[in-house]
Homo-oligomer: A and B are copies of this chain.
């Protein structure tokens, strides 16, 4: 007799599948895909190894699912993000990227460390998404360079440099540390702005 009726949402059906995803994500992030066994994942989920195959056909499919989901959610999140319309586009993108990546250290870690372990088809699919995401930043840089708002040598090189810098936060930032998320975000925004000679004070888009 539960005091509040247990949600009968979609049965227990899809529950194990998402527990598998969660366990695999944590283990892959910590030990690496190749070093994690299906037995470890099963043990973490609290199930026998064979049961995993009711939800994912192979170990590789778990990795593919995690990485494609991450990229898909990242792109969706950007599309539906509505930054303050006065904010400079580069600043808006960088703030979005920093926040999203600080909140999902494991996903980020797996998604850029395990590319090597994707089979050819899966790599192509994930890499296409990654390029779509980078193209967003490249477009912003091209626009800003065209009208003189940013100073930069090459939009694609700058894209890779900035993405590497920002994504790197996930490799060292720990919520338990002394720096708050907001502080780290602000410091990195300053670095990004200066890297393209956008005066940090002038991050409001000029209208008219």
Contact = CB atoms under 8 A, between A and B. Distances in A.
Interface of A: 30-35, 113, 116-117, 151, 153-154, 157-158, 160-165, 167-169, 171-172, 179, 184, 186-188, 190-191, 194-197
A191 B158 contact: yes
Nearest to A184: B157
Contacts of A184: 157
A157 B187 contact: yes
A168 B190 CA distance: 20
15 contacts: A30-B116, A31-B116, A32-B32, A32-B34, A32-B117, A153-B186, A157-B184, A158-B187, A160-B168, A160-B172, A161-B165, A161-B188, A164-B171, A165-B165, A195-B195
A162 B195 CA distance: 11
A136 B167 CA distance: 23
Given A33-B34, A153-B186, A157-B188, 6 more contacts: A31-B116, A113-B113, A151-B194, A160-B172, A163-B168, A194-B196
